[in-house]
Amino acid sequence: MGSYYCTIKTKKLIALLVRSGFVSKSGAKHGKYEREGSVVIVPRHRSISPGTSKQICSDLEKLFGIDTKELNKLF
């Protein structure tokens, strides 16, 4: 992943999580997606800010081994 991050659409991120085997758990102000006992929290907005998208993508890459090519498709 490059050092440049921008806003991403929440729908694209959720689609990637579901394709990667995450299961949706209900949440009030944030969506919770669980896989192998770990949880990824996604804000319920139309788009996700650059700082939040950077953190979520780095966690997906390091903790869950999601391919960088898949993550780059979000941007």
| Percent over 70 (pLDDT), the chain | 95
What per-residue confidence (pLDDT) applies to 2? 52
* Residue 18: per-residue pLDDT: 93
Q: Which residue has the higher pLDDT, 31 or 27?
A: 31
Query: What is the pTM assigned to this prediction?
Result: 0.83
pLDDT-derived band at 11 (thresholds 50, 70, 90) equals: very high
Asked whether 74 and 57 are in contact (CB, 8 A), the reply is yes
For residues 8-21, give the mean pLDDT.
92
Q: What is residue 21's predicted lDDT score, i.e. its pLDDT?
A: 93
